[in-house]
Amino acid sequence: MPFFPQAPRKPRPFGPLLALAVALALLAGACDKPGGTAPAVLEWGEATVGDVLRVIEAPGVVKARPEGLVRVGSRLKGQVILLTVRTGDIVRKGQLLAQLDNRELTTQRDQAKARLDAAVSEYERTEALFAGRLEEARAAIAAGRGKLDYAARGRERRDALRSQGHISQDALDASRRDEAVAAQTVRAGQAALERIGRERDAELARTRRELEATRAELELSEVYLSMTRLESPIDGIVGQVHTQEGEQVVAELETVNIVTVIDPRYLELWVYINEAEAAAIRKGTPVRFFRPARKEQVFEARVERVSPAPETVGKVLYYPAIVPLAPLSSLELRPDMNVQCLVKMEEAGGDLSVPNEAVVARGGKRLIYVDDGRGGVKPVEPQLGLKGNQRTQVLSGLERGQRVALKLAP
């Protein structure tokens, strides 16, 4: 018994029901005949073999990793007299970025160079002076040795004559004194030579120390002078200019940043994938992206990893898929630049497929209306696979080249 009581129904006459059944049967028969009222097809398509792609669109932002930001600065204080770059410029390694006032350091460098020239001249003069004195001492020693040899031969000769009684003892003693004086002269010359050598070594050491000190002073002044010329250490992109011409740089304890150069090898693209699609992103997933202002310039890359930390936008979670950029595309892009991305989620290649418009949902089923060969259409329920952006994969139930209805008359 029903929960709610109902009024008794009156019996319906049998005649009208029979007439309605007959009319429906006649209508069905007319639709099955070649000349019946089949649905009119406004547009036909075809089942063909090809690739089926499912691609999603997602926003992307170009970002620079922290290690890709190279800060160029100076530990010197001074005025910025020249800036040669602006934010966004592409620079090469060794290119001048900025110049500090270097007049005082240039003067110090020139003075150090003059002192170095003087020290070199003093060293060379000292070396030449002692070389002459040593040569004189060696010549004196050589002359003394000659006299000594002569005196020794004379003494030997007089020794023989004295033994034979031809000369007196005084003559022999005089010869011996001459030999002793000559020997003393040679010894004095050798002592003088050694003394001059010691003096030379001491003087050359002193002048060499002065020379090295002035050379170190010059090198230090050149180092300081080079620090006034700020050059790019890498090939990269100027990310930010922190000063302007005429501004005074005060660097006391730490380096003051003047220009930040971005290393393009450390640029990457963050593609924001919604939580419904993020689980399907894998390492190596292809990504194409372009700038909205230049849609004709399309770059290609592949996903390296997906960040586990989502970002919420309008109550929807987005997971950043991180894509490394190739050097060529990195030079075209800039940090914080927005791009439009196309991410290839799924692909079925070489299978039969139909346009998405051919698939119609009816009563919980996916149907396709095909040409029945009699000027009409008939519904079929094939086994369908991947639904791409433009075509749907057909696993079975259709044949290659079979015509399918894309649009039916209302």
Give per-residue pLDDT as tens, 282-291.
999 999 999 9
CA–CA gap between residue 182 and residue 108 (Å, rounded): 58
Model confidence, pTM: 0.60
Residue boundaries of the structural domains of the chain? 37-51+350-408, 55-66+263-347, 70-101+228-262, 104-226
What is the number of other CB atoms lying within 10 angstroms of the CB of residue 234? 17
> 207 pLDDT band (50/70/90 cuts)?
very high
Q: What amino acid is encoded at 234 in this protein?
A: I
- On the question of pLDDT at 163 being above 90, the answer is no
The fold adopted by the segment(s) 104-226 is Helix Hairpins (1.10.287)
CA–CA gap between residue 398 and residue 401 (Å, rounded): 9
> 253 pLDDT band (50/70/90 cuts)?
low
Contact residues for 64 (Cβ-Cβ < 8 A; gap 6+): 239, 262, 266, 267, 268, 335
Does the structural domain 70-101+228-262 have CATH classification 2.40.50.100? yes
| Tokens, residue 163 | 């033994």
* pLDDT score for 37: 52
CB 45 within 8 A of CB 371: no
| Tokens, residue 255 | 């380096």
CB 314 within 8 A of CB 274: no
Q: Give CA angle at 377 (371, 381), nearest 5°.
A: 85
Q: Examine domains 55-66+263-347 and 104-226 and report if their fold is the same.
A: no
CATH of domain 37-51+350-408: 2.40.420.20
CATH of domain 55-66+263-347: 2.40.30.170
Helix (H, G, I), strand (E, B) or coil at 243: coil
- On the question of pLDDT at 12 being above 80, the answer is no
| Tokens, residue 188 | 């004095």
CB 387 within 8 A of CB 381: no
